[in-house]
Structure 1
Amino acid sequence: MTMFDAARIGAVVIGASAGGVEALNLLLPVLPKAFAAPVLVVVHVRQGQPSLLPGLFAARCALAIEEPFDKDEIAPGTVYFAPPGYHMLVEAEGGAAPSIALSIDPPVRFSRPSVDVLFESAAHAYGERLLSIVLSGANDDGARGARTIREAGGACWAQDPATATAPAMPLAAIAADAANEVLTLEQMAMRLTQYVDHSK
């Protein structure tokens, strides 16, 4: 899937770190209420204190914003932010509807939540129906997971490093040959708004 194919997208997964909140603020608020896929987001946040992200984006977005609990069923048209201190995974076993799994396994790439952990589990659950987005960040978390998604038939968009506050994360995805396309945030936003459920 080299181009965004709205009819095939079952979920969107997003990874971000330094500069990522600003990038998300250009993407998530433009998504219409009829957006037809769940969006799962990992942002590297400080552990040991509640995340402010759900409240911040709930006030700005048409979509429902959740900080999920373990075993929550994944609903379309909902944005899920990984809770601080937990890996957020997608589970889809035995034909059951995909659900959230939260884990306190050791940090990956020095991070918990880890972008790689979310991306790799989502690739297993959604395969070619998965779109991943790698945004601004100061390390290489997400590159390995994005490569797994691409190998499973899904797609990856990397933020244009020239537009990223911290370009290391998208650069790592590009270097790993994980990115189908390198896009500005404005290009991503325009593409994403095309994927709506017209029955709503």
Structure 2
Amino acid sequence: MPSEQHAPEGYAVVAIAASAGGVQALIRLLGGFDADLPVPVLLVQHLDPRHRTALPQVLTHRTKLTIKLAEDRDRIQPGIVYLAPPGRHLLVKSNGTMVLSDSEVVHFVRPSADLLFESVAEAYGPRAIACVLTGTGVDGARGVAAIKAHGGTVLVEDPKTAQFAGMPTAAVKSGAADHVLPLEEIAAALRGLVESKRQ
């Protein structure tokens, strides 16, 4: 089981990516967590950069977790979901500090799931979990390969049940997926992983 093989100290962070159909998927996923989630969550949801997003407010009303727009140089804390701002890449350092970047788009998107996942893989190695949800395109596939290469664990929404199968399909084809699950089973799986090494 990945949680026992790879993470003797327990998992330290969960990184989630979604695109088309992601808002409803995130409402269902994050609604499955209690406020005492023992790890922080870093979230890339592809949003229109031309507009301010109401997603933090939308999610706040549907989950017990605290939802925040990520801020440059802020330190991640357990039980908080940090959302990449529209039009900015979100990365994290090994000391738990977030970095926001205006660097080039990746796969036509910014924020990029690939860049987030790659930074999480470098910073946390086997203590990282990545999760790819509904979306079009291939963003996230390269990143989950990095998570897996560094000993982390990868969950992917089942393409057969995802509202948009592009991103989940690309993630599965990468060969990095440890668990491919229907959306309604992912929250319980994540809880089981992050709580498995805690008292």
Contact 2:120 2:128 in 1 (8 A): yes
- Is 1:42 aligned to residue 40 of structure 2? no
175, 178, 181: which one aligns with 1:180: 178
170, 182, 187: which one aligns with 1:189: 187
The alignment of Structure 1 onto Structure 2 pairs a total of residues equal to: 195
15, 22, 25: which one aligns with 1:23: 25
Q: How much has 1:24 moved relative to structure 2?
A: 0.9
Q: What corresponds to 1:9 in structure 2?
A: 11
Q: What corresponds to 1:144 in structure 2?
A: 142
State the secondary structure of the residue aligned to 2:29. Answer: helix
Deviation per CA, 1:132-179, whole angstroms, max 9, x where unpaired?
A: 000001100000000000000001111000111110101001111121
**Equivalent residue letter for 2:129:** L
State the secondary structure of the residue aligned to 1:13. Answer: strand
RMSD: 1.9
Query: How far, CA to CA, are the matches of 2:66 and 2:198 in structure 1?
Result: 18
- Is 1:162 aligned to residue 160 of structure 2? yes
Q: How much has 1:6 moved relative to structure 2?
A: 9.6
Query: How far, CA to CA, are the matches of 2:48 and 2:130 in structure 1?
Result: 23
**Equivalent residue letter for 1:160:** D
Alignment of 1:30-179 (within 5 A): 30-92=32-94, 97-179=95-177
Deviation per CA, 1:6-29, whole angstroms, max 9, x where unpaired?
A: 962100000110111111111101
Identity of aligned residues (%): 42
State the secondary structure of the residue aligned to 1:8. Answer: coil
Query: How far, CA to CA, are the matches of 1:113 and 1:156 in structure 2?
Result: 20
Contact 2:14 2:40 in 1 (8 A): yes
> Where in structure 1 are there 5+ consecutive unaligned residues?
none
Contact 2:72 2:99 in 1 (8 A): yes
Contact 1:34 1:198 in 2 (8 A): no
Deviation per CA, 1:23-64, whole angstroms, max 9, x where unpaired?
A: 111110111011100001001100121111111111121111
Query: How far, CA to CA, are the matches of 1:182 and 1:159 in structure 2?
Result: 6
State the secondary structure of the residue aligned to 2:172. Answer: helix
> Where in structure 2 are there 5+ consecutive unaligned residues?
none
Contact 2:3 2:10 in 1 (8 A): no
State the secondary structure of the residue aligned to 2:49. Answer: coil
So what's the TM-score if we normalise by structure 1? Answer: 0.92
State the secondary structure of the residue aligned to 2:156. Answer: strand
Bigger CA drift: 134-143 or 6-15? 6-15
Query: How far, CA to CA, are the matches of 2:2 and 2:68 in structure 1?
Result: 30
So what's the TM-score if we normalise by structure 2? Answer: 0.92
